[in-house]
A = this chain, B = another copy of it.
Amino acid sequence: MTQVNEELPHTKHILLEKRIQNFTRTSFQHLEKLSNRSSYVARSCKEIMDRYDEREDGLYYLTTANGMVYQTFCDMTTAGGGWTLVASVHENSVYGKCTLGDRWSIQQGNNANLPDGDGNWSNRNTFGTAEGATSDDFKNPGYYDIYAEDMSVWHVPNNFPLDHWNLAAILRYHTNNRFLRMYGGNLLQLFKQHPVRYNIGSCSNRGPAVPIVYDHGDRESTRMLYGPHSRAEFEPGFITFRPINNERAAMAICSGVKPTGCNTEHYCIGGGGYFPEGNPNQCGDFPAFEAHQNWNPPKEMIEAAVLLFYR
């Protein structure tokens, strides 16, 4: 049992003093610069970059068409920059089967009477903060407000601080064919066209699969981020929307892959309110990522938040 009521030893004291002085001095200059960003008026990081010639990664203020102001992270370097973080999908517990924290599927239990689940893929509810995006689910007004052309996705280990996300990510990629123009300019609109809803169709009715460009990782490393049996039923190099599994459960996103089979609950995330197989074992934000040994992704994938960007 430690009891801290003595003074610190002298040398340790001096080192700490220096560390704190540096910390304070640099931070005030830095803070003033960051606080000047509050004068920017823009709806996306792309507009921040284009209008104010900003090139530094970090937090910026954005404004919705209605005038709601929020802060989020801008990636100003990847592939020309201008990427707005609009959401993160964070699995708080693989033991919770559509319980509290499963905002991207349903938090009220696996339930065929609630085919849309919590509905957050296609409503204007928001939650979380940019700095907390790897510690809990995050969704900001940009998700529904920005009119975007492309998406970028980062898989960042849980609880990493914002300034380390880029380097810590185990997978980073983006699209470059402006596919979102065909689907209304953002995920809210895309998922209105392709609802994340139980029993909306069968496995053959999945939404678009869009080819990706890798920023960290490649097709082979993508394969290895999913379980052994999963690798036999997808093609890496894509991002796929609204997959449907054998039992007609709908998911939202297959990150990095295009399904060629129908057991998408093992490698696609988010979902509606009902997953029939093994009720309620497959229900969750990472639906059946911890359900069957041969299908389970490695731990590093399960314990990484999926950050979604628009440009």
Interface of A toward B, CB cutoff 8 Å: 1-5, 7-8, 16, 20, 23-24, 27-28, 30-32, 34-35, 37-38, 41-43, 47, 51, 58-59, 63-69, 71, 92-93, 95-96, 99-101, 107-108, 111, 113-114, 118-119, 122-126, 128-132, 134-136, 141, 147, 158-159, 161-163, 177-179, 181-182, 204-211, 258
Tell me whether A124 and B132 are in contact in the complex, defined as CB-CB below 8 angstroms, given that A4-B179, A108-B96, A209-B3 are known contacts. yes
| 23 intermolecular pairs with C-beta atoms under 8 Å apart | A1-B204, A3-B208, A4-B177, A4-B182, A4-B210, A20-B147, A27-B43, A27-B65, A28-B51, A31-B63, A31-B67, A32-B41, A35-B41, A58-B66, A58-B67, A59-B68, A68-B131, A92-B108, A95-B113, A124-B131, A124-B134, A125-B136, A126-B132
> Smallest Cβ distance from A114 to chain B, in angstroms?
6
- Does A135 lie within 8 Å of B129, measured CB to CB? no
Cα-based distance from A246 to B205 in the complex (angstroms): 51
Q: Which of chain B's residues have a CB closer than 8 A to the CB of A162?
A: 66
Q: A3-B208, A28-B51 are in contact. List 18 more A-B contacts (CB 8 A).
A: A2-B209, A4-B179, A4-B182, A5-B211, A8-B181, A8-B182, A23-B147, A24-B47, A28-B47, A30-B65, A31-B43, A34-B63, A35-B69, A38-B69, A58-B67, A59-B66, A68-B131, A100-B107
